[in-house]
Amino acid sequence: MAEAIRIDTAAIIDAQDWSGLYVLEKYNSANTDIPLLPILTKNPKKQNEYFILQPFSSEAIGSIHTLEQLDHFSPGDIVYIDGHHGKIRGILNAKANANTLLVTEQCDNFCKFCSQPPKTKNDVELYEKAALSILNYGRNDLTGISGGEPTLNKNAFRTFLQTLNSFNNTTPLHILTNGRGFSEKKFCTDVTETLGERFCLWGIPIYGYESQIHNYLVDADNAFIETVSGIRNLLGSGQAIEIRIVPVRDNLKSLPLIIDFIQSNLNQVTYVSIMNMEPKGLARKNFNSLFVPQHDQNSALLEAIEIAETHSLKIRLFNYALCQIDAYLHKYACKSISDWKNYYTDECNACTKKTECGGMFTSADGRFLEKPRAFI
Amino acid sequence: MTLEATFNLPFLFRRIPKTNLTITTGYNGAFCLLEEESNIEDLIRNNHERLPKEKISELEAKSLVSTQSEYALKASLHASSLATQIYRSLAKPSLFMIVPTLRCDHDCRYCQVSRAPINAEGKDLSAKNIDNALNLIESTSDEELKIEFQGGEPLLNFKFIKEFISKAKVKLKEKNVSYVICTTLTNLTNEIADFIKDENIQISASIDGDANTHKYNRPSKYYDSYDLLQDKRRLLSEKNLDSHTSYIATVTRPSLGNAQELAEFFFSLSIDSIFIRPLTPLGFASSTVRAIGYTADEYMDFYKQFLKEIIRINIQGTRFVDEMALIHLNRIFRPGSTQYVDMKSPAGLVLGGLIINYDGKVFGSDESRMLWEMTHSKELIIGDITLSSDLDFTNLTKTLKDSFLFALPGCSECAYQPYCGADPIHHLATQGDPIGNKSDSFFCNFQTLMYDMIFTMWHNSNDARKVFRTWLKL
Return the CATH fold of B92-368. Answer: TIM Barrel (3.20.20)
Q: Quote the ipTM score.
A: 0.93
Domain edges within chain B: 6-88, 92-368
Inspect the interface and report whether the beta carbons of A260 and B61 lie closer than 8 Å: yes
- Contact, A88 vs A70, CB < 8 A? yes
Query: pLDDT under 50 in chain B at which residues?
Result: 1
Q: What is the mean pLDDT of each run of 10 residues along chain A (376 residues)?
A: 84 89 89 91 91 90 88 92 93 93 97 95 96 94 96 97 96 98 98 97 98 97 98 96 98 98 96 97 96 97 97 96 96 94 93 94 93 84
Chain B residues with beta carbon closer than 8 angstroms to that of A226: none
Domain edges within chain A: 9-92, 99-368
CA angle centred on B122, ends B119 and B123, rounded to 5°: 70
Q: Which residues of B touch A (CB under 8 A)?
A: 2-4, 26, 28-30, 57-58, 60-63, 67, 69-70, 73-74, 76-77, 80-81, 84, 333-335, 337, 469, 472-473
Q: Which of B6, B70, B329, B459 best tests the A interface by mutation, with the highest count of A CBs <10 A?
A: B70
Inspect the interface and report whether the beta carbons of B80 and A236 lie closer than 8 Å: yes
Q: Which of A214, A303, A310 best tests the B interface by mutation, with the highest count of B CBs <10 A?
A: A310
**How many angstroms separate the CA atoms of A86 and B448, rounded?**
73
- Please tell me the predicted confidence (pLDDT) of residue A8: 85
**How many angstroms separate the CA atoms of A160 and A132, rounded?**
10
Inspect the interface and report whether the beta carbons of A310 and B60 lie closer than 8 Å: no
| Integer angstrom CA distances of residue B245 from B184, B259, B272, B376 | 12, 23, 10, 35
Chain A residue nearest residue B472, CA to CA: A310
Which residue, among A32, A34, A53, has the nearest Cα to A135 in the 3D structure?
A34
Which residue, among B184, B331, B207, has the nearest Cα to B275 in the 3D structure?
B207
**How many angstroms separate the CA atoms of B5 and A12, rounded?**
61
Chain A residue nearest residue B61, CA to CA: A261
**How many angstroms separate the CA atoms of B372 and B357, rounded?**
11
Chain A residues with beta carbon closer than 8 angstroms to that of B67: 210-211
Inspect the interface and report whether the beta carbons of A260 and B62 lie closer than 8 Å: yes
- Please tell me the predicted confidence (pLDDT) of residue B107: 94
- Give the model confidence (pLDDT) of B134-178 as tens digits: 999 999 999 999 999 998 999 999 999 999 999 999 999 999 999
Q: How close does chain B come to A161, measured CA to CA in Å?
A: 28
Non-local (6+) Cβ contacts of B20 within 8 A are B35, B36, B37
Nearest to A210 among B70, B469, B473 (CB): B70
- Please tell me the predicted confidence (pLDDT) of residue B284: 78
Inspect the interface and report whether the beta carbons of B337 and A312 lie closer than 8 Å: yes
**Domain spanning A99-368, CATH architecture:** Alpha-Beta Barrel (3.20)
Q: How close does chain B come to A269, measured CA to CA in Å?
A: 13
Chain A residues with beta carbon closer than 8 angstroms to that of B60: 209-210
Inspect the interface and report whether the beta carbons of B469 and A266 lie closer than 8 Å: no
Q: Which of B63, B73, B470 best tests the A interface by mutation, with the highest count of A CBs <10 A?
A: B73
Nearest to B80 among A232, A258, A311 (CB): A232
Which residue, among A41, A36, A74, A42, has the nearest Cα to A55 in the 3D structure?
A36
Chain A residues with beta carbon closer than 8 angstroms to that of B334: 311-312
Inspect the interface and report whether the beta carbons of A265 and B335 lie closer than 8 Å: no
Non-local (6+) Cβ contacts of A68 within 8 A are A10, A11, A48
- Please tell me the predicted confidence (pLDDT) of residue B338: 66
What is the count of residue pairs from A and B with beta carbons less than 8 Å apart? 72
**How many angstroms separate the CA atoms of B71 and B80, rounded?**
14
Inspect the interface and report whether the beta carbons of A260 and B4 lie closer than 8 Å: no
- Please tell me the predicted confidence (pLDDT) of residue A5: 85
Chain A residue nearest residue B333, CA to CA: A311
Q: What share of chain A is helix, strand, coil (3-state, %, to 5)?
A: 30, 20, 50
Nearest to B58 among A212, A228, A260 (CB): A260
- Please tell me the predicted confidence (pLDDT) of residue B91: 86
Q: How close does chain B come to A222, measured CA to CA in Å?
A: 9
Inspect the interface and report whether the beta carbons of B57 and A209 lie closer than 8 Å: yes
**How many angstroms separate the CA atoms of B85 and B27, rounded?**
9
**How many angstroms separate the CA atoms of A24 and A11, rounded?**
16
pTM over 0.90, yes/no: yes
Q: Which residues of A touch B (CB under 8 A)?
A: 209-212, 224-225, 228-229, 232, 235-236, 254, 257-258, 260-261, 263-268, 306, 309-312
Residue type, A317: L
Inspect the interface and report whether the beta carbons of B69 and A225 lie closer than 8 Å: yes
Q: How close does chain A come to B319, measured CA to CA in Å?
A: 17
Nearest to B69 among A211, A267, A310 (CB): A211
- Contact, B324 vs B451, CB < 8 A? no
Inspect the interface and report whether the beta carbons of B334 and A236 lie closer than 8 Å: no
Chain B residue nearest residue A211, CA to CA: B70
